[in-house]
Amino acid sequence: MSEIKYTLRVMKEEDYDQVYHLWMSIHGFGIRSIDDSKEGVTRFLKRNPSTSVVAVVNQQIVGAILCGHDGRRGCMYHVCVDEQYRKHGIGKAMAVFCMKALQEEGINKVSLIAFKSNALGNRFWKDAGWTFREDLNYYDFTLNEANITRFNS
């Protein structure tokens, strides 16, 4: 396998179109109509200006993580790498980038959600040493019914 030369940098608002295109290219990717819109992502990046990351190869975004915190705990969303660039350490490097950015802001713990149907993602996180929590239940409540999730086929 040949080495892929990539760079990591903080995600910017101007990256939205390329990041959205990446999201749309990934089979089974879940995206919300409002939260993942340009306006929603811009709002997220303004609240968390230094913790999200993109991986770039030849000026093309091939990986991305939305990452932020509430002052107590960090959370990663939409961790993804273009299928043709997987298995080169990009996902791990992006996760480390985000974790370091969170640590610089005084955050001591980070979490993420992986759909049960995402076998590849779940294996990735377990292999990376993340702890699968069996001691809690996850709940959410929809405040805006228009913010629906759809999955790429």
Would you state the pLDDT for residue 33?
85
Instruction: Kindly give the residue spans of alpha helices, DSSP state H, lying in the chain.
Output: 16-25, 38-47, 90-104, 119-127
pLDDT of residue 139: 84
Structural domain harbouring 47: 7-151
CB 65, CB 52: distance < 8 Å: yes
Most confident of 27-31, 45-49, 126-130: 45-49
**CA distance linking residue 114 with residue 138, whole number of Å:** 12
For residue 1, being part of any structural domain is answered with no
Q: Who has greater pLDDT, 5 or 29? A: 5
pLDDT tens-digit series, residues 76-133: 999 999 999 999 999 999 999 999 999 999 999 999 988 888 888 889 899 989 998 8
Cβ atoms within 10 Å, residue 40: 16
Any residues with CB less than 8 A from the CB of 103 and at least 6 apart, and which? none
For residue 72, the domain's CATH number is 3.40.630.30
Instruction: Tell whether 2 is covered by a domain.
Output: no
* Low-confidence winner among 26-35, 37-46, 64-73, 105-114 (lowest mean pLDDT): 26-35
Give the predicted TM-score (pTM) of the model: 0.90
Considering the domain boundaries, does residue 30 fall inside one?
yes
Quote the distance between the C-alpha of residue 63 and its chain's center: 9
